[in-house]
Chains A and B, each alone.
Chain A
Amino acid sequence: MEVNNANLANQIQDPTKSPSGLKILWKEIVRDKLALISLILLVLITVFVYGTAVVLDQDEIVRVDLFAIHEPPSEEFILGTDYGGRDVFGQLIIGTRNSLSIGFLVTAISGIFGIAFGLIAGYFGGYTDNALMRVLDFFQVLPFTMLVIVFVSIVPNYTILAFSIIMAAFNWMGIARLIRSKALQEKELDYVQASKTLGTSHTKIIFREVMPNISSLIIVTMTLNLAANIGIESGLSFLGFGFPESTPSLGTLLSYATNPQTLEYRWWIWVPAAVLILIMMLMIRNVGEALRRATDARQRRG
């Protein structure tokens, strides 16, 4: 990842130097058919999942029905049932919604923290930067998966928000590093120096002057992070350390596959969830990569 981040930072040129940076991002997506289709599909999935989840009765879906255990797909259960006789299709919808929600939440929390951290380190530079980067180095070398699992298992009041904060706490370093290297370049520019001579406060310069100028980098990174976070969340749920109990996630459905019988003979329980995760991650990446190309004038299409 270190390598990739470094490359990304170099690749991202200055799309923002013209004020129509956001327009360029949008144009690139429209021009890139794959990204456009991905975006449309993602929006459809999101709307469908959130819309249906409102109508669906979650308690009904997670209620155990011992007379309908491990039923293969039928007319009543489109994707069959799991070991508790619960409707897999309903769990898939609720699971997708939950995975998406937590993906957004974690991306937002880690993004806000990472951006602020990177901006402060890059803008002030010198000793501040040095100290903050040592902190970042330390976090980056920590065994992420394990610490999240340990925290999840010892936090007393375990909620979705707590889970998101734990995940974000060990997951803000990538974006912080990227933003910092960009901010280091940006702060040398005269408009930042000018703001200083005009008596603008550091906080204002950082968030009102510098941040808008690196907004496309932020958008690109956050998009790619969203995909990664959905993957990480489903992985943790797969191990049983994701969502609080009774809240199905895509990873929960996959965790049924740790039972060899389910893995071998009852594909309808875990394959749809696996396919759905893959599709969503690929599509978010498609959009993210198109955005990244847009920020790099050399790679822009058309």
Chain B
Amino acid sequence: MWKFIVRRILITIPQIILLSVLIFLLAQAMPGDALSGLVDPNVSLEQKNALREKLGLNDPWYQKYGEWASGLVQGDLGQSFRFKMPVADLLEQRLINTFWLSLATLIITYIIAIPLGILSGRYNDSILDSSITGYTYLGFATPLFIFALVMLWVFGYQLQWFPTSGSVTPGLEPGTLEYVLSKARHLLLPAISMALIQTVSTVQYLRSEIVDTKQREFIITARAKGASESRVYNRHILRNSLLPIAAFFGYEITFLIGGTVFVEMIFGFPGMGQLFIESINLRDYSVVNAVVLIFGIAAILGALLSDIILSLVDPRIRIK
């Protein structure tokens, strides 16, 4: 099995390199270059060209890529043209915010998915099951951004249960309990909105997995041996169905990334997604590239992690 893991990791390396090449080439296609973020707009063209030459901006692309990539490895993400500060510093707080938002979303996703999936699978074809299935059906058809807008409208503006923008109430001292609680309150509505949509595929998967497992030979054998219904579920069916679900969180990262762009914009949440859209609008491309790169790597590593965990819990997908 370690062979599978090593092979899977070997696939990941070219993926990350390819991603970085893609982003680098996109950066080349973008108007402006690293220089525009560094110097005063009043500097003359000759001086600029001299600087360009000195900075190696006229080198062939692969040479520039090499320099750019080695900078990346050392944590140098370039300069923000708009904020006149290193991109890495700019990203730090945003990254932390988005991390907590994603984590909260993931947790809520599973809090919703596991009971609903189990109920729906265990009592399949009951009224309970059809209402849960109806929910997943609607959830699949609803675009996240519309749902988030409606959630904001209802719970943010009409009922005023939740704050409508920001990640924390201004003026609170970091580290205090109020600060943490305020953070959590700001997180909750966007995270719930995202989780309610994202969870449907997991609910559906868990349901069909349980319905399938119920009819397997070993379950019938367990029943025939006289095991109680709850024992059959807890010991046999759930063990088989829940582990793969737990491993999916890595794949979910890809969806989370798409989701955060919308949700952070709608809820005015200062995270990576919002920064991304703002930077695109401001043509602050070094920030854009850094965000795409970080999210891309997160997605690649998430898929890697899920594949590895799945191979540990489910020997069927393990390739020799």
Contact = CB atoms under 8 A, between A and B. Distances in A.
A285 B141 contact: yes
A270 B126 CA distance: 37
Interface stretch (B43-51, B60-68, B235-243, B290-298): B290-298
A145 B261 contact: yes
A266 B241 CA distance: 47
Nearest to B12: A141
Contact of B142 (A258, A281, A289): A281
Contacts of B251: 2
Contacts of A146: 257-258, 261, 276, 291-292, 295
Contact of B262 (A150, A235, A282, A289): A235
Contacts of B292: 143, 146-147, 150
Interface of A: 1-4, 7, 134, 137-138, 140-147, 149-151, 153-154, 227, 231-232, 234-235, 238-241, 254, 257-258, 260, 263-264, 270, 274, 277-278, 281-282, 285, 289
Interface of B: 11, 15, 18-19, 22, 26, 29-31, 137-138, 140-146, 149-150, 152-153, 157, 164, 201, 204-205, 208, 248, 251, 254-255, 257-258, 261-262, 265-266, 276-277, 280-281, 288, 291-292, 295-296, 299-300, 303
5 contacts: A137-B15, A142-B299, A154-B31, A263-B157, A278-B141
B26 A260 contact: no
B319 to A, nearest CB: 12
Given A235-B144, A239-B277, A270 B295 contact: no
Given A143-B257, A143-B258, A150-B288, A263 B149 contact: yes
A259 to B, nearest CB: 12
Given A4-B205, A241-B280, A257-B153, 16 more contacts: A138-B19, A141-B300, A145-B257, A145-B261, A147-B292, A150-B26, A227-B141, A231-B143, A235-B262, A239-B277, A263-B153, A264-B157, A274-B150, A277-B146, A282-B138, A282-B141
A285 B144 CA distance: 16
Contacts of A2: 251
A173 to B, nearest CB: 11
Contacts of A147: 292
Contacts of A140: 254
Closest 9 CB pairs of A and B: A231-B143, A145-B258, A281-B141, A264-B157, A143-B295, A282-B141, A3-B205, A143-B257, A285-B141
A241 B281 CA distance: 10
A141 B201 CA distance: 18
Contacts of A235: 143-145, 262
B254 A257 contact: no
A171 B295 CA distance: 18
Nearest to B15: A138
Given A150-B280, A263-B149, A278-B142, A143 B254 contact: yes
B157 A260 contact: yes
A301 B182 CA distance: 52
B11 A3 contact: no
Contacts of A231: 143
B26 A141 contact: no
A274 B30 CA distance: 34
A147 B31 CA distance: 16
Contacts of A260: 157, 164
Chain A contact residues, majority secondary structure: helix
Contacts of B262: 145, 235, 238-239
Contacts of A227: 141
Contacts of A3: 201, 205, 248
Contacts of B19: 138, 142
B98 to A, nearest CB: 13
B42 to A, nearest CB: 26
A274 B258 contact: no
Contacts of B303: 141
Given A138-B15, A143-B299, A7 B208 contact: yes
A137 B291 CA distance: 21
Nearest to B254: A141
A235 B143 CA distance: 8
Contacts of B153: 257, 263-264
B11 A134 contact: yes
Contacts of A238: 145, 262
B201 to A, nearest CB: 6
B265 A270 contact: no
Given A154-B29, A274-B149, A142 B277 contact: no
A143 B288 CA distance: 13
Nearest to A145: B258
Contact of B140 (A134, A234, A285): A285
Nearest to B158: A264
Contacts of A278: 141-142, 146
A134 B300 CA distance: 13
Given A143-B299, A235-B262, A263 B152 contact: yes
A4 B201 CA distance: 7
A234 B60 CA distance: 39
A234 B295 contact: no
A274 B205 CA distance: 28
Contacts of B276: 146, 149
A278 B19 CA distance: 34
A281 B280 contact: no
A279 to B, nearest CB: 9
Contacts of B15: 137-138, 141
Nearest to B302: A141
A142 B140 contact: no
